[in-house]
């Protein structure tokens, strides 16, 4: 196997030499390092560094939260979808997002933190999720822009994660990526239909692209020189490409696709640089990004309130189901005792 630079073993840390580190830990670390160096997979019960477990728990649960919160802007349009076919597609899509959230929570739970704890972090406003879902979906065309740009960016981010070093995460991503491609295509087709429709429809489509372009580019995370955790994630084979690498790659794809749509991207600086072979895009407003992440976006409060409401309204239902299961178990035990 070619030794790509991304697979290199992390440099020995001070604790490796530390006499206070137990032999078990040292052996575990050596085993872990070898698996990473071989580009093989870490599985749930393997020894892993605490920082690796923490990083993954945080990343996977944030990812899961994003799917769950991400249902809202689109669910917002299910009842108003302008044709029954679009209504079916949108419902199936939002339902998939619930599914993706569950695949990811399932992967996160294998690291030792139960879902209700992760969920509570979300409800308490302590957990982050993708900033894009704090923007409002104001028009039907937003269903197109979200599918094409937001899901498109998500796919570009996620496809490399199919080979993340943590087995359950990679497996969840394989399933998710496959389903996401339907999401992106249906979004593209919504925009295509609108841009070839009435002048009002075309305007609606362009407006949606204008609003979602920059937030979609920000989905790849801060620029590489301002992304402190990236290097470690790459050393651990969780992340395979840098934020900027993925971002400029994505811009290149949509720059071509937008022509098919007959729309434009709201980026006067967008061009392909022959010299570096890379796409150049406009400066993004990273202050806005930080604000939205920190909870000061247009919809943060609304999204969390809706999540909390659903959770609170469902408490008596979840409780009833558990109580019923308990009663059934008791009945069975009594039957077994009587027999």
**Residues within window 116-155 making contact with another protein, judged by CB under 8 A:** 116-117, 140
Calpha distance 230→239 (Å, rounded)? 7
User: Please, which residues bridge with residue 245 across strands?
Assistant: none
Q: Which is nearer to another protein, 15 or 309 (CB)?
A: 309
User: Please, which residues bridge with residue 43 across strands?
Assistant: none
Q: Does 316 bind another protein (CB under 8 A)?
A: yes
Using CB under 8 A, pick the residue from 51, 319, 332, 333 that binds another protein: 319
Using CB under 8 A, pick the residue from 12, 13, 54, 114 that binds another protein: 114
Q: Does 238 bind another protein (CB under 8 A)?
A: no
Q: Does 58 bind another protein (CB under 8 A)?
A: no
Q: Does 46 bind another protein (CB under 8 A)?
A: yes
122, 149, 119: which is closest to 137 by C-alpha? 149
Using CB under 8 A, pick the residue from 10, 49, 99, 136 that binds another protein: 99
Stretch that binds another protein, among 73-81, 145-153, 221-229, 270-278 (CB under 8 A): 73-81
Kindly state the smallest distance separating residue 232's Cβ from another protein, in Å: 18
Calpha distance 323→330 (Å, rounded)? 11
What would the two tokens of residue 11 be? 């440099």
151, 159, 42: which is closest to 107 by C-alpha? 42
Q: Does 82 bind another protein (CB under 8 A)?
A: yes
Q: Which is nearer to another protein, 97 or 267 (CB)?
A: 97
Using CB under 8 A, pick the residue from 122, 137, 177, 254 that binds another protein: 177
Residue 83: burial class (beta carbons within 10 Å; 0-12, 13-18, 19+): exposed
3-state secondary structure of 166: strand
Among positions 156-175, residues that touch another protein (CB under 8 A) are 159-160, 162-163, 167, 170-172, 174-175
Using CB under 8 A, pick the residue from 32, 41, 216, 220 that binds another protein: 41
Q: Which is nearer to another protein, 102 or 291 (CB)?
A: 102
DSSP per residue, 191-219? HHHHHTS-HHHHHHHHHHHHHHHHHHHHT
Stretch that binds another protein, among 254-262, 274-282, 286-294, 324-332 (CB under 8 A): 324-332
The owner of tokens 């995370």 is 221
Q: Which is nearer to another protein, 259 or 318 (CB)?
A: 318
Nearest 10 degrees: CA dihedral of 260, 262, 267, 269?
70
Among positions 248-307, residues that touch another protein (CB under 8 A) are 249, 306
Q: Which is nearer to another protein, 96 or 288 (CB)?
A: 96
Give the torsion sign (CA, 232, 238, 241, 242). Answer: negative
Contact indicator for 236, 165 with CB cutoff of 8 Å: yes
Stretch that binds another protein, among 84-92, 217-225, 259-267, 268-276 (CB under 8 A): 84-92
Kindly state the smallest distance separating residue 183's Cβ from another protein, in Å: 12
Kindly state the smallest distance separating residue 189's Cβ from another protein, in Å: 10
Q: Does 22 bind another protein (CB under 8 A)?
A: no
Using CB under 8 A, pick the residue from 20, 22, 79, 276 that binds another protein: 79
Calpha distance 306→281 (Å, rounded)? 35
Stretch that binds another protein, among 15-23, 190-198, 228-236, 264-272 (CB under 8 A): 190-198
Q: Does 37 bind another protein (CB under 8 A)?
A: no
Contact indicator for 63, 154 with CB cutoff of 8 Å: no
DSSP per residue, 224-287? GGG-TTHHHHHHTTS--S-HHHHHHHHHHHHHHHHHHHT---S-TT-EEETTTTEEE-PPP-HH
Pairing of strands 278-280, 271-273: antiparallel
């Amino acid at each position: 196997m070619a030794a790509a630079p991304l697979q290199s073993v992390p440099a020995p840390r001070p604790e490796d030499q530390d006499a206070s580190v137990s032999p078990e830990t040292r052996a575990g670390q050596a085993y872990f390092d070898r698996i990473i160096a071989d580009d093989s997979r870490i599985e749930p019960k393997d020894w892993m560094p605490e920082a690796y477990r923490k990083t993954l728990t945080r990343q996977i649960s944030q990812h899961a939260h994003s799917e769950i919160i991400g249902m809202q802007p689109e669910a917002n349009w299910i009842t108003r979808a302008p044709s029954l076919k679009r209504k079916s597609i949108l419902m199936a899509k939002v339902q998939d997002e619930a599914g993706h959230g569950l695949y990811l929570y399932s992967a996160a739970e294998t690291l030792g933190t139960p879902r209700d704890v992760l969920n509570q972090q979300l409800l308490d406003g302590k957990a982050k999720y993708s900033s894009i879902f704090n923007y409002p979906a104001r028009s039907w065309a937003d269903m197109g822009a979200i599918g094409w740009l937001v899901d498109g960016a998500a796919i570009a981010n996620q496809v490399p994660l199919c080979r993340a070093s943590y087995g359950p995460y990679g497996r969840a991503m394989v399933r998710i990526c496959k389903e996401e491609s339907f999401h992106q295509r249906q979004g593209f087709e919504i925009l295509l239909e609108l841009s070839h429709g009435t002048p009002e429809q075309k305007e609606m489509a362009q407006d949606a692209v204008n609003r979602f372009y920059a937030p979609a580019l920000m989905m790849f995370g801060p620029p590489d020189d301002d992304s402190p955790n990236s290097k470690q994630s790459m050393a651990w084979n969780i992340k395979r490409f840098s934020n900027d690498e993925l971002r400029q790659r994505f811009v290149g794809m949509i720059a071509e696709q937008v022509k098919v749509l007959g729309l434009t991207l709201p980026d006067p600086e967008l061009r392909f640089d022959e010299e570096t072979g890379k796409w150049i895009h406009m400066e993004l407003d990273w202050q806005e990004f930080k604000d939205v992440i920190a909870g000061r976006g247009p919809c943060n409060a609304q999204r969390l309130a809706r999540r909390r409401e659903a959770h609170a309204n469902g408490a008596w239902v979840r409780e009833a189901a558990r109580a019923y299961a308990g009663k059934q178990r008791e009945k069975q035990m009594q039957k077994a005792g009587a027999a």
